[in-house]
């Protein structure tokens, strides 16, 4: 079979909603696109541990501390499944990690914003995990089998995280005036960045059309963003908090909320590395990697000694 | 010392040891030498936090003044914490973290095992759950200590330096204060000398496997059990307690 026939067979399989598995033939660009997307996703989980981890030692009671620590630990686990999914496509975890550390690979820009108050832990769970879930629920049906299966497991945990985040917001919104103010401030700062998480508008999204054809993606950035807004506005209303968008208004004709304009200049600046925490996040990852080198070397050296002893 | 006062102080100490060490281990989350270790240390920290919550809740009940786990964790001052100094020392490098955990775990496991036989049913119940956790903790810290000791030259040097530096903090684990003596006499708490014998055996076995040298017993630091801590604890508490202190009475 020539390339064209293989490609036609592949597309037919995708169109018939059959999963593509690691040993199946796949177009080189499909593989490349997936490795890029899955590793970016894995990196986002790992870098995402930093802004939330920032509050583990300062959580306001032992229950919250336990839940937050367990949550950040879950993110590390998600990173591991996703690196495994990328490895099933022939990528090496060490190479992917190098790409993160050198700044060559991207991760979700949302994690370049700082968590300034405890309410940010609520807002991140509610909005950031909420936005991530929209994407991840879609990815449970993605065409590549190992990625879809990793997502099913991740989605279960993420929806738990989102509920925890919203619960923190509920307590703050019903708390003292200072706590309420803290909650509103967190919503003010996290709302627009959360909307940016869905990526550029469909017209400006470089990878979207091909990804849709290959059913890696199944809904467009704009569709997902609108669904997120429609779901989240009533939740903010319930909290009695104001979403920082003067143009936000229910549209009876479309049955959706109309809303304002995303500041794409900010989005692009953060992508270029100019966000509030880009530098800190990469430094923290590099520091952990560099300071952990002797630990990893010791583990390898010890394992080699043991293997030698067993062989003797 | 009254039996109930002795029980309160001892249960509080069990809680403080787990809380303070769990807090230290949680500092690694997101910063570990490899992802698998971030996960392992978070697991261990979660176990310790769970134990702390059980012990502190029980301590509050013994005291009978309505203090909750959070009142005890967040609203006591440096001098009112009763944990051993070993638990509060900064995390240091990964060899230091592993060595401290090992020296603590080798004490904590036999202590919790003995507590499962305590006539105080509540204490026995909490310890019953903690035994399974402490078994894993000791396995984890022992395995890493062996990897470091019998790994590379650098890891061996770091592990030996950590053990040497921490050694003076191990004596306090086995030196009973008045509260502990009261409970040992009443048969509620095991004799710490018997725990020390098990600790010595574990330490000898693991250090030998790790090709590390057991330091000579010299001057041993004390004071943590009486609330006279290192300077490090104050900073740990400043971080831990910041929110409830800044917003008195608020619910979270």
A305 to chain B, any CB pair closer than 8 A? The answer is: yes
Q: What is the pLDDT of residue B194?
A: 97
How many CB atoms are located within 10 Å of the residue B33 CB?
24
| Gap between the Cα atoms of B176 and B16, Å rounded | 16
Residue A209 pLDDT > 90: no
- A199 Cα to chain B: minimum distance (Å): 26
| Cβ(B146)–Cβ(B210) below 8 Å | yes
| Cβ(A138)–Cβ(A174) below 8 Å | no
- Chain B residues within an 8 Å CB radius of A64: 252
Non-local (6+) Cβ contacts of A182 within 8 A are A117, A118, A119, A172
Q: Report the residue from A60, A61, A288 with minimal CB separation from B31.
A: A288
Q: Residue window 200-219, chain A: list those with CB within 8 Å of chain B.
A: none
Q: What is the pLDDT of residue A202?
A: 83
DSSP string, chain A: --HHHHHHHHHHHHHTTPPB-TTS---HHHHHHHHHHHHHHHHHHHHHHHHHHTTGGG-SSHHHHHHHHHHHHHHHHHHHHHHHHHHTTT--HHHHHHHHHTT-S---GGGGS---SHHHHHHIIIIIHHHHHHHHHHHTT-SBHHHHHHHHHHHHHHHHHHHHHHHHHHHHHTS-HHHHHHHHHHHHHHHHHHHHTT-S-GGG-TTHHHHHHTTS--S-HHHHHHHHHHHHHHHHHHHT---S-TT-EEETTTTEEE-----HHHHHHIIIIISSSHHHHHHHHHHHHHHTHHHHHHHHHHHHHHHHHHH-
Q: What is the ipTM of this complex?
A: 0.97
Q: What is the pLDDT of residues A257-279, one digit of tens each?
A: 999 999 999 999 998 999 999 99
| Gap between the Cα atoms of B236 and B224, Å rounded | 14
| Gap between the Cα atoms of A267 and B153, Å rounded | 47
Q: Which residue of B has its CA nearest to A80?
A: B35
| Cβ(B148)–Cβ(B156) below 8 Å | yes
Q: Residue window 54-83, chain A: list those with CB within 8 Å of chain B.
A: 56-66, 69-70, 72-73, 76-77, 79-80
Q: Read off the tokens for A170.
A: 């509920």
Extract the residue ranges of chain B whose pLDDT is less than 70.
none
Domains and CATH numbers, chain B: 3-246 (1.20.1260.10)
Average pLDDT, chain A: 95
Q: What is the pLDDT of residue A204?
A: 81
Q: Which residue of A has its CA nearest to B240?
A: A58
| Gap between the Cα atoms of A138 and A37, Å rounded | 14
pTM above 0.90, yes or no: yes
Buried b (16+ CB within 10 A) or exposed e, A36-70: bbbbbbbbbbbbbbbbbbbbbbbbbbbebbbbbbb
pLDDT band at A100 (very low <50, low <70, confident <90, very high): very high
Residue A167 pLDDT > 80: yes
Over its C-alpha atoms, chain A yields an Rg (Å, rounded) of 21
The distance of Cα B120 from the centroid of its chain, to the nearest Å, equals 21
CB contact under 8 A, A302 and B26: no
pLDDT band at A302 (very low <50, low <70, confident <90, very high): very high
CB contact under 8 A, A57 and B26: yes
Q: Read off the tokens for A124.
A: 């991140």
- Chain A residues within an 8 Å CB radius of B50: 66
Share of chain A above pLDDT 70, in %: 100
- Chain B residues within an 8 Å CB radius of A47: none
Mean pLDDT to the nearest integer, A118-127: 98
pLDDT band at A307 (very low <50, low <70, confident <90, very high): very high
Q: What is the pLDDT of residue A36?
A: 95
Which is nearest to A25 in space by CA: A5, A40, A44? A5
| Cβ(B29)–Cβ(A77) below 8 Å | no
- B28 Cα to chain A: minimum distance (Å): 9
| Cβ(A172)–Cβ(A120) below 8 Å | no
Instruction: Reduce the secondary structure of B9-32 to three states and give it as a string.
Output: HHHHHHHHHHHHHHHHHHCCCCCC
A77: left (phi over 0), alpha (psi -120 to 50) or beta: alpha
| Gap between the Cα atoms of A91 and A32, Å rounded | 10
Q: What is the pLDDT of residue A210?
A: 87
Residues A123, A106, A267: CA angle, nearest 5 degrees: 55
Optimal mutation site among B41, B42, B150, interface A, most CBs of chain A within 10 A: B42
Q: Residue window 27-56, chain A: list those with CB within 8 Å of chain B.
A: 46, 49-50, 53, 56
Q: What is the pLDDT of residue B180?
A: 98
- A281 Cα to chain B: minimum distance (Å): 11
Residue A1 pLDDT > 80: no
| Cβ(A162)–Cβ(B230) below 8 Å | no
Q: Read off the tokens for A37.
A: 């997307």
Q: What is the pLDDT of residues B191-214, one digit of tens each?
A: 999 999 999 999 999 999 999 999
Q: What is the pLDDT of residue A133?
A: 94
Q: How do A249-251 and A256-258 pair as beta strands?
A: antiparallel
- A236 Cα to chain B: minimum distance (Å): 18
């Amino acid at each position: 079979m020539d390339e064209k026939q293989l490609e036609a067979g592949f597309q037919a399989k995708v169109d018939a909603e059959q999963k593509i598995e690691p040993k199946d033939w796949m177009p080189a660009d499909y593989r490349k696109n997936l490795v890029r997307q899955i590793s970016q996703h894995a990196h986002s989980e790992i870098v995402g541990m930093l802004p939330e981890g920032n509050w583990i030692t300062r959580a306001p009671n032992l229950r919250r501390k336990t839940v937050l620590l367990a949550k950040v630990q879950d993110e590390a686990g998600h990173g591991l499944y996703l690196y495994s999914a990328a490895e099933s496509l022939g990528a090496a975890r060490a190479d992917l990690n190098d790409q993160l550390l050198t700044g060559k690979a991207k991760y979700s820009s949302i994690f370049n914003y700082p968590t300034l108050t405890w309410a940010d832990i609520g807002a991140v769970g509610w909005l950031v995990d909420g936005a991530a879930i929209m994407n991840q629920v879609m990815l449970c049906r993605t065409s590549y089998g190992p990625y879809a299966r990793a997502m099913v497991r991740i989605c279960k945990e993420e929806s738990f995280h989102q509920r925890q985040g919203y619960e923190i917001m509920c307590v703050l919104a019903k708390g003292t005036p200072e706590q309420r103010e803290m909650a509103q401030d967190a919503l003010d700062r996290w709302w627009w960045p959360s909307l940016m998480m869905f990526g550029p508008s469909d017209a400006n999204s470089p990878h979207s059309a091909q990804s849709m054809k290959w059913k890696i993606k199944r809904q467009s950035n704009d569709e997902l963003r609108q669904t997120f807004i429609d779901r989240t506005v009533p939740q903010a209303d319930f909290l009695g908090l104001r979403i920082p968008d003067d143009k936000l208004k229910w549209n009876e004709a479309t049955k959706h909320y109309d809303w304002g304009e995303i500041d794409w200049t900010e989005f692009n600046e953060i992508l270029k590395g100019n966000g509030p925490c880009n530098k800190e996040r990469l430094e923290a990852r590099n520091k952990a990697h560099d300071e952990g080198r002797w630990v990893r070397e010791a583990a390898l050296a010890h394992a080699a000694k043991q293997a030698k002893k067993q062989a003797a | 010392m009254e039996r109930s006062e002795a029980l309160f102080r001892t249960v509080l100490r069990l809680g403080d040891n787990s809380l303070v060490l769990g807090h230290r281990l949680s500092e690694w989350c997101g910063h570990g030498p490899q992802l698998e270790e971030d996960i392992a240390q978070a697991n261990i920290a979660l176990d310790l936090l769970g134990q702390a919550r059980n012990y502190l809740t029980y301590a509050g009940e013994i005291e009978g003044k309505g203090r909750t786990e959070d009142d005890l964790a967040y609203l006591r001052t440096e001098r009112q914490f009763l944990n051993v100094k070993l638990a509060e020392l900064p995390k240091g490098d990964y060899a230091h973290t592993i060595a401290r955990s090992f020296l603590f775990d080798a004490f904590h496991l036999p202590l919790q095992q003995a507590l499962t036989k305590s006539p105080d049913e509540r204490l026995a119940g909490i310890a019953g759950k903690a035994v399974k956790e402490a078994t894993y903790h000791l396995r984890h810290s022992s395995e890493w200590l062996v990897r470091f000791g019998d790994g590379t030259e650098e890891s061996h040097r770091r592990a030996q330096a950590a053990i040497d530096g921490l050694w003076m903090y191990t004596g306090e684990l086995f030196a009973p204060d008045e509260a502990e003596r009261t409970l040992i006499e009443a048969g509620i708490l095991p004799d710490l000398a018997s725990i020390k014998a098990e600790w010595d055996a574990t330490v000898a076995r693991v250090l030998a496997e790790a090709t590390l040298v057991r330091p000579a017993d010299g001057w041993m630091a004390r004071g943590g059990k009486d609330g006279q801590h290192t300077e490090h604890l104050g900073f740990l508490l400043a971080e831990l307690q910041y929110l409830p202190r800044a917003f008195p009475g608020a619910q979270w």
